[in-house]
Chains A and B, each alone.
Chain A
Amino acid sequence: MAAISREEVAHLARLSRLAVTEEELDTFAGQLDVILQAVAQVGEVAAADIPPTSHSVPLTNIFREDVVTPCLTPEEALSGAPDAEDQRFRVPRILTEDVAS
């Protein structure tokens, strides 16, 4: 049985903000199914009472002295932006017409 359907892959693409094509969906559905069936092997390990590891270095609460150091200028920070205006990143519209009006 397939682990994941074409419709589920289309949903994942939407969640991932990927405007995938129909051809890509056909290819990805099969490939993701193979990958998910393989990685599902982790379920074979009896680990109910095992604590999870998120990180191999057990460091917490890392602080440093609050010293002023040089940082990027606004021009440098904006140097890679696709669009900028008045020292800000310029973005496409966020609100729809009727909400904005």
Chain B
Amino acid sequence: MSDLIKMTATEIAALVAGGETSAVEVTQAHLDRIAAVDDRVHAFLHVDTEGALAAARAVDERRAAGEELGPLAGVPVAVKDVLATRGVPTTVGSKILEGWRPPYDATIVQRLREAGTVMLGKTNMDEFAMGSSTEYSAYGPTHNPWDLSRIPGGSGGGSAAALAAYEAPLAIGSDTGGSIRQPGAVTGTVGAKPTYGGTSRYGLVAFSSSLDTPGPCARTVLDAAVLHQVIGGHDPRDSTSIPQPVPDVVAAAKLGAIGDLTGVRLGIVTEFVGEGAEPGVMAAFRESVDALTKMGAEVVEVSCPTFAYALPAYYLIAPSECSSNLARFDGVRFGLRVGDDGNRSLEEVMSLTREAGFGPEVKRRIMIGTYALSSGYYDAYYGQAQKVRTLITRDFNAAFERVDALISPTTPSVAFPMGARTADPYQMYLADLYTIPTNLYGGPGISVPCGLSEGLPVGLQVMAPTMADDRMYRVAAALESAVGTFTPPAL
């Protein structure tokens, strides 16, 4: 295995900038790795070999011409298939968009190009980002590099698995209820959900617009911070984008790496360290808490009683928004059209197209959302869920008066075996139990590897106040400096 693929993004960028290696050499090493292992991992839905090598050559030419390079020039990146990429297939893991090549780039993709990164391709995901295992992809599941018989998390299992399998040093994900953090936790990688509005949604295929948050995935906290800085910040094309600069997450990650948390107050969420989590997950979490305390952090328990209702509230709000958002897949402007024989009406063709193009989980959520929004049920379901969202936000605000950041295990369990939860959709939902409150509140959260349980990775989650993304990076980097990074068995 080439040394280049084991390097961090920061190391690669330095080598390329210093002329010690070329962007083409780095890119080819990762393309070779993908060719060697991705038939077993299936992290990628599309590998853009030609586009990647062309982008790499452009970086090398700019360097040769003495031009100033971006902070991630020559660093390969894998992009979740939820973001529009000009001329490169974008499916959202769904048959309804099979073969679609967007005529424009998402803002994040544009910023990645401007930073000099090299896009390797598009990563697998649960269809429309609805799922926690990547088993709901219409193109077959992704396998966890730690144990190919287990799930890599979801919905961004492809991005996380690509990192863990050394197919890419950086990846982009999107987090609506935990789809960056939960895959990060179960693959031993770092996944950060920025503050809602801190990263642009322009060109992100919409699932639940008030919750969807694109963000960085990496193997180290510093790499995630560097990527966050590159993709984040105000975008006039997204009306929910916060018109403020990104907090200095890179400086915070470097500060944290020193390993001193003196004066930092951390709150363990009482509701998330009870009987719900596996003993092995709790053991790794407790050891990490000891490590954080040793570095000077003051750790207390903080109760957030309404977090118990976050999961049911989320599974009303997200499906409601999805039932509305996915109405645009009508077989008219893009994607699949089924049954247009010249006799059938538009409505019949629409119903046949959506029936053929959407998988079972997407159909379930569209119907749940349609139910929750219908007159007679609106107040009891969607309306009540929105009120619970207010109470969850109040719990966060009260907690952040006492502590600087909240911590918990990222997930109740380690990666579960493939097929274990597909027959019982609600069991699948429980994988996101600890990540969902952050999405409802809108603040940032990060999962950082904190240990192993029976040979499988465990993640620790740090949650910070809105637009205090730097705080979570400081704590996560400190923990990383204490527990180290985790390498899966050779593939």
Please list the residues of chain A having a beta carbon within 8 angstroms of any beta carbon in chain B: 4, 8-9, 12-21, 24, 27-28, 31-32, 34-36, 38-45, 47, 50-57, 59, 62, 64, 72, 76-77, 79-83, 89, 91-94, 96
Stretch at the interface among B69-77, B247-255, B312-320: B312-320
Residue contact B240 to A57, C-beta cutoff 8 Å: yes
Name the one of B210, B309, B313, B334 contacting A56, with C-beta atoms under 8 angstroms.
Answer: B210
Known: A18-B367, A32-B364. 8 other contacts (CB 8 A): A24-B363, A28-B363, A36-B371, A39-B385, A40-B312, A59-B242, A64-B236, A92-B346
Bound-state Cα–Cα, A89 to B330, Å: 12
27 contacts between A and B (CB under 8 A): A12-B370, A16-B366, A17-B330, A17-B350, A17-B354, A18-B351, A20-B363, A27-B360, A28-B360, A34-B426, A35-B368, A39-B312, A39-B381, A40-B312, A40-B381, A42-B385, A43-B384, A51-B390, A53-B387, A53-B393, A56-B393, A57-B196, A80-B102, A81-B332, A89-B333, A91-B332, A94-B346
Interface of B, secondary structure class, is helix
Instruction: Give the shortest distance, in Å, between B186 (CB) and chain A (any CB).
Output: 23
Residue contact B390 to A42, C-beta cutoff 8 Å: no
Contacts of A38 in B (CB 8 A): 312, 315, 426
Bound-state Cα–Cα, A27 to B102, Å: 35
Judged by a CB distance under 8 angstroms, whether B337 is at the interface is yes
Bound-state Cα–Cα, A77 to B384, Å: 40
Residue contact A35 to B336, C-beta cutoff 8 Å: no
Contacts of A64 in B (CB 8 A): 236
Query: What 4 A-B pairs come out closest when comparing CB atoms?
Result: A56-B442, A52-B386, A80-B334, A82-B337
Residue contact A39 to B332, C-beta cutoff 8 Å: no
Residue contact B442 to A57, C-beta cutoff 8 Å: yes
Instruction: Give the shortest distance, in Å, between B409 (CB) and chain A (any CB).
Output: 22
Residue contact A54 to B309, C-beta cutoff 8 Å: no
Bound-state Cα–Cα, A19 to B385, Å: 29
Please list the residues of chain B having a beta carbon within 8 angstroms of any beta carbon in chain A: 100-104, 196-197, 210, 236, 239-240, 242, 306, 309, 312-313, 315-316, 323, 327, 330-337, 340, 342, 344-352, 354-355, 358, 360, 363-364, 366-368, 370-372, 374, 380-381, 383-391, 393, 424-426, 429, 440-443, 466
Residue contact B370 to A50, C-beta cutoff 8 Å: no
Bound-state Cα–Cα, A24 to B197, Å: 38
Bound-state Cα–Cα, A38 to B80, Å: 30
Given A18-B351, A57-B240; A82-B335 close (CB under 8 Å)? yes
Given A59-B239, A83-B337; A53-B370 close (CB under 8 Å)? no
Which of A8, A13, A20, A92 is the most central at the interface, judged by chain B CB atoms within 10 Å of its CB?
A92
Contacts of B363 in A (CB 8 A): 13, 16, 18, 20, 24, 28
Bound-state Cα–Cα, A91 to B344, Å: 11
Residue contact A93 to B364, C-beta cutoff 8 Å: no
Residue contact B387 to A51, C-beta cutoff 8 Å: yes
Bound-state Cα–Cα, A18 to B380, Å: 25
Instruction: Give the shortest distance, in Å, between B151 (CB) and chain A (any CB).
Output: 19
Residue contact A80 to B210, C-beta cutoff 8 Å: no
Instruction: Give the shortest distance, in Å, between B382 (CB) and chain A (any CB).
Output: 9
Bound-state Cα–Cα, A8 to B197, Å: 37
Instruction: Give the shortest distance, in Å, between A65 (CB) and chain B (any CB).
Output: 9
Bound-state Cα–Cα, A56 to B440, Å: 7
Residue contact B355 to A96, C-beta cutoff 8 Å: no
Name the one of B334, B350, B371, B441 contacting A12, with C-beta atoms under 8 angstroms.
Answer: B371
Contacts of A14 in B (CB 8 A): 351
Given A43-B380, A52-B387; A91-B346 close (CB under 8 Å)? yes
Bound-state Cα–Cα, A8 to B374, Å: 12
Name the one of A35, A55, A81, A96 contacting B333, with C-beta atoms under 8 angstroms.
Answer: A81
Given A57-B242, A92-B344; A35-B426 close (CB under 8 Å)? yes
Contacts of B345 in A (CB 8 A): 92-94, 96
Residue contact A42 to B381, C-beta cutoff 8 Å: yes
CB-based nearest A residue for B441: A56
Instruction: Give the shortest distance, in Å, between A53 (CB) and chain B (any CB).
Output: 4
Residue contact A89 to B239, C-beta cutoff 8 Å: no
Bound-state Cα–Cα, A27 to B315, Å: 19
Bound-state Cα–Cα, A53 to B313, Å: 11
Instruction: Give the shortest distance, in Å, between B395 (CB) and chain A (any CB).
Output: 12
Name the one of A8, A41, A50, A83 contacting B390, with C-beta atoms under 8 angstroms.
Answer: A50
Residue contact A28 to B364, C-beta cutoff 8 Å: yes
